[in-house]
Amino acid sequence: MSRRSFISLDAHNQNPRTALCVNDVVVSTVGTIGNSAVVRPYILPANTDRHVGIIRIFKDYSPYVLSTFLLSKYGRMQTLREAMGNVQLNLFLYKIRDIVIPKLSYSQQQEIEKVVVDANVKIEDANALYSSAENYLLECLGMHDFAASPDAYNVKTLKESFLESGRIDAEFYLPKYEDYVNAVSAYAGGVAPLGDVCTINDRNYTPQKGIKYHYIELANIGESGDITGCLYEKGEDLPTRARRIVTQEDVIVSSIEGSLSSCALLTDDYDHALCSTGFYVVRSAQINSETLLTLFKSFPVQQLLKEGCSGTILTGIGRPGFERIPIPLIRHEVQEEIAKQVRQSFTLRKEASELLEKAKLSVEHAIENGEGLSV
């Protein structure tokens, strides 16, 4: 439950019933049922939509313990049992009231809460490190405070438009995209087309029956370029789009408009996993993987990816457009600093994940050792 969108303050104030408060427990109620988190002060003011349930605790019970329980096997067992629907599962709010939770002692709750809070602090520190790396990159590109043209139109002749690019959609010719191309291309260290800087792995692999594979899809990509989990299924049970083998240090970049920011760096945990054909799998001999990730997720390059998208039903950026994206040849010392910060960010995120797993196992252990249950 890490992805965020933004609304105006007026829209927030007009929806007080779904406004979040500190220590609220939020639960996903549609699609991926039962994902849970505690609202932390730094995210406020915040609101949510109808796909998220809000649990506000009035009794002496830790929200961190409740959230951890919902993520445990015993919590997920109940949320899935209470969910209804054929095509898409739904967990109705009145059903959440029927979930039975463990009655843990105060000392147990305090112990579990401390572990989860420590994990959250590490996640916040990891986010800060990644943001620092991205800001440093933009400063080196001279684009930290860059503002593109706000004009919503452009004038092009047939020769300057369709005959040159093959595109007739107005969005493609908005002045802001030219501004981003020119700004990136002005980098003093030089620029080259992505196809000249990176190799793209587009070889298809057919999973074998009876063999289990880790499979990464769009839903598994975190906001800071990390992979938050994956499926682990036999080859015959995987989606037909599970056709790309990825290796450590690869960078995967979504090709689908609407999820272009879903980019991730492959760590050793996912070496030789499979990923969706909706990703480009790239690496470079000139730019380290951490810098490549930060570039792809940066706002300027995101705009260039968006410019390259086309299609009708499902829009995305094709390989020719992807290979034409200008990539700044970042100085080596800048790459090293970015890599250091991104690696530290990933290390903290992994430590946080281990702490959250420890907290979850503590809750499960307490239940298995006879702790009472209450509604």
Contacts of 333 (CB under 8 A, 6+ apart): none
In three-state secondary structure terms, 55 is strand
CATH topology of domain 141-331: Adenine-n6-DNA-methyltransferase TaqI; Chain A, domain 2 (3.90.220)
* Cis peptide upstream of residue 102 (ω within 30 degrees of 0): no
Angle between helices 106-141 and 289-297 (to 10 degrees): 90
Give yes or no for a contact between 205 and 274, defined as CB atoms under 8 angstroms apart: yes
CA dist 298 and 187 (Å) reads 15
pLDDT in tens, the chain (375 residues): 445 678 889 999 888 998 999 999 999 888 778 889 999 988 899 999 888 999 998 888 999 999 999 999 999 999 888 888 877 788 888 888 888 899 899 999 999 999 999 999 999 999 999 999 999 999 999 988 777 666 665 666 656 555 556 555 655 656 677 777 888 888 889 999 999 999 999 899 999 999 999 999 998 998 889 998 899 999 999 999 999 999 999 999 999 988 999 999 999 999 999 999 999 999 999 999 999 999 999 999 999 999 888 877 778 999 999 999 999 999 999 999 999 999 999 999 999 999 999 999 999 999 988 764 554
Domain ranges of the chain: 1-99, 141-331
Widest Cα–Cα separation across the chain: 77
| 50, two tokens | 């109808």
Q: Residue 322 region, left (φ>0) first, then alpha (ψ -120 to 50), else beta? A: alpha
